[in-house]
Amino acid sequence: MVVQQLMNLDALKSWLDGYGRAWENRDPGAAGALFAENASYHETPYDEPMQGRSAVAEYWSHVPRTQENIHFSYEVLALQGDKAFVHWASSFTRIPSNSKVKLDGIFALRFDERNLCVSLREWWMRQES
């Protein structure tokens, strides 16, 4: 019998730190490496989810191209077994308009036994000035 190792708080924080670094460094390979091969990534509740690690990396190859001075932070709200809920925030400067953007959101995450994300669902709001 195989016993699944459940995500712990240190591993979750490590994953979130990696997510933040990947975004701040505009590194799509590092972002993709956080996800399982069969992961689903729901950026919004109304769009079809991205499917698979390569789709996540492709998404992250486009997203930060119009962003600089990116800062990511988070607060773990709940962790139980392989599921986590996280409040996150990000700020950046939009290129080329130089407008300041703040994002505030929630992640619903699920992980596999290797602490790779198999499901990310997010809801977020944007303030831009």
**pLDDT of the chain, 129 residues: tens digit per residue:** 444 567 899 999 999 999 999 999 999 999 999 999 999 999 988 889 999 999 999 999 998 899 999 999 999 999 999 999 999 999 999 999 999 999 999 999 999 999 999 999 999 999 999
State the Cα–Cα distance between residues 26 and 57, nearest whole angstrom: 11
pTM for this one?
0.93
CATH of 9-128, one of 3.10.450.50, 3.40.640.10, 3.30.70.3270, 3.50.50.60: 3.10.450.50
- Residues 103, 89: contact at Cβ < 8 Å? yes
* CA distances (Å), origin 70, targets 1, 19, 41, 126: 45, 12, 21, 14
